[in-house]
Amino acid sequence: MALYSEKVMEHFRNPRNVGVIEDANGIGEVGNAKCGDIMKMYLKIEDGIIEDVKFETFGCGSAIASSSMATELIKGKPVSEARKLTNKAVAEALDGLPDYKMHCSVLAEEAIGSALDDYEKRTGISTH
């Protein structure tokens, strides 16, 4: 059996929404101390909707695939929905990750959470 699903490989090879949003109003950066991987998420939020989202990930293939899938799952969605995105949902959307790679999807959940926290701090507007 292949270790990684087709979807993981596809998002790793052609990640969506890579880059920087210059006028982002929510930016989050998280890392995993064990593997040293780092993920940065940029959000452009307008009227409670994630109008745009981009990421930069210095990390493994699963972290890149997870970031890519996570951005696809929250783009165009209300902030309250983005808040509820779990790493499990990201991994499921990728047709699964090996157990020892689940922490890569946790980075995506945390990076989005951190970017939403930053938005709240900047604007005083709740995202819950």
Alpha-carbon gap, residue 20 to 2, rounded angstroms: 33
Residue from 53, 65, 107, 112 touching ligand FES (CB under 6 A): that is 107
**Least distance between ligand FES and beta carbon 52 (Å):** 24
Give me the least distance between CB of 105 and ligand FES, in Å please.
9
Spatial separation of the C-alpha atoms in residues 60 and 42, rounded to whole Å: 19
* 5 is a contact residue toward ligand FES (CB under 6 A): no
Taking CB under 6 A as the rule, does residue 62 contact ligand FES? yes
Q: How far is the CB of 64 from ligand FES (least distance, A)?
A: 9
Q: Is 59 in the site for ligand FES (CB under 6 A)?
A: yes
Which of 21, 53, 60, 79 is the binder for ligand FES (CB under 6 A)?
60
Per CB under 6 A, 112 contacts ligand FES: no
Which range of residues in 19-27, 54-62, 75-83, 109-117 is near ligand FES by CB under 6 A? 54-62
- Can you give 80-118 as a three-state secondary structure string? HHHHHCCHHHHHHHCCCCCHHHHHHHHHHHHHHHHHHHH
- Catalytic annotation, residues: 35, 104
Q: Which of 43, 34, 84, 83 is nearest to 63 (CA)?
A: 34
Mention every residue, 6+ apart, whose C-beta is less than 8 A from residue 74.
50, 53, 81, 82, 85, 112
